[in-house]
Chains A and B, each alone.
Chain A
Amino acid sequence: MKLKFLSIALAAITFFGACNSSDQATEITVTDTFTLEGPLYEGSNPAQLVYAVDLKTLLGDKYHEGVKITDATLASATISPIDSGSLSGINSMVLSVASDNPELKMLELGVINPIKEGSQSAVLNPSGEANAGKYFQEKQYYIVLDVGLNADIEDNLSLKGEIKFNLKHN
């Protein structure tokens, strides 16, 4: 009886091991501009991008018919100003993803708080748990950047985002 159990366990381990061994890893970079339209108020202000998922372009040579992204974790996110030289007046940033699909819940991917006054760019600390893999199975999703301001701003605020994901796929 014990031998039977061990055989089943061994078979299961071998099976799942085989599944995992076929997974590939690819790092992708999303570069885009977040625009917050003024007037902006002290506190948290959101900017959002609609991100169209194009696996052919993202995976390049690794793309094949039926490819499926299983895991997507934030490797790094660097936000820098476009119009001015520093992130003056910005005290925090939170990066999230959201989808119109009711089955996909918003995920916070990274945060920086506080941001040192006069910083040229902000490097967000990635979440240790958020897995956005299912978002890459959608046609599109939203990348949301919440920007915490120290004071009101009358003008628009444009920020460049360089967001890197580690993808796992078959």
Chain B
Amino acid sequence: MKKILFIAFAAFFGTILSSFVNQDAAGDRLIGVWEPSNGRARVKVEKIGAKYYGKIVWLKEAVDPVTKQPKTDKNNPDPNLQNVPLKGYRMLKDFVYAGKDEWTEGTIYDPLNGSTYSCTIKMTDKNSLEIRGYIGVSALGRTDIWKRLEVKKK
């Protein structure tokens, strides 16, 4: 009897544990390098703790035409942070996997105007994302399609 109970408990906790592991693995599908529809940047999604962040790893126009130096976050509302390099900047922040191919609770930063918007990410297939930035309610926003890039490993 004790043995059967033990097996039942083990199976129960095993199921719970595996659902957490599967949830984690499902969320990790966001990890990779993605390109917005305008093709002007490439964004690498990484994980810090339990959340997902996307930083700019490539810019089509990486050099500031005025200063002739690598672009920095010159529109940051905090003047002390305006020399943060744009290449390397995390424009996607704090995304949590919500299940059903959606990542929520995050923000997207537009370096062109220094504005941060609420954002949700929907994976429509393994190589496509719908990135929706909005203010206040999701209905008031704009959606962009990002495509996954295959990265050649050295």
Chain A contact residues, CB within 8 Å of chain B:
39, 43-44, 46, 48, 91-92, 94, 96, 98-100, 102, 104-106, 108, 110-111, 113, 125-130, 142, 144, 146, 148
Query: A102-B105, A128-B78, A142-B49 known; 15 other A-B pairs, CB under 8 Å?
Result: A43-B87, A44-B55, A44-B57, A98-B49, A100-B49, A100-B51, A102-B94, A106-B53, A106-B94, A111-B80, A111-B84, A113-B84, A125-B80, A127-B80, A128-B80
B48 touches A92 (CB 8 A): no
A127 touches B78 (CB 8 A): yes
A92 touches B88 (CB 8 A): yes
The 10 A-B residue pairs with the shortest CB-CB distance in the complex, in nearest-first order: A44-B88, A128-B80, A100-B50, A102-B105, A100-B49, A129-B78, A106-B93, A113-B83, A111-B84, A98-B48
Cα A100 to Cα B94 with chains together (Å): 8
Cα A100 to Cα B55 with chains together (Å): 18
A94 touches B94 (CB 8 A): no
B51 touches A98 (CB 8 A): yes
Chain B positions 42-70 with a Cβ under 8 Å from a chain A Cβ? 46, 48-51, 53, 55, 57
A99 touches B85 (CB 8 A): no
With A46-B46, A46-B48, A98-B51 as contacts: A106 and B90 at CB distance below 8 Å: yes
Contacts of B80 in A (CB 8 A): 110-111, 125-129
A105 touches B107 (CB 8 A): yes
Contacts of A91 in B (CB 8 A): 85
B21 within 8 A of A: no
Question: Could you name 29 residue pairs across A and B whose Cβ atoms are closer than 8 Å?
Answer: A43-B57, A44-B55, A44-B88, A48-B48, A91-B85, A92-B84, A92-B88, A98-B94, A99-B49, A100-B49, A102-B105, A106-B48, A106-B53, A110-B80, A111-B80, A111-B81, A113-B72, A113-B83, A113-B84, A125-B83, A126-B80, A127-B80, A127-B81, A129-B80, A130-B78, A142-B48, A142-B49, A146-B55, A146-B88
Contacts of A108 in B (CB 8 A): 78, 81, 84
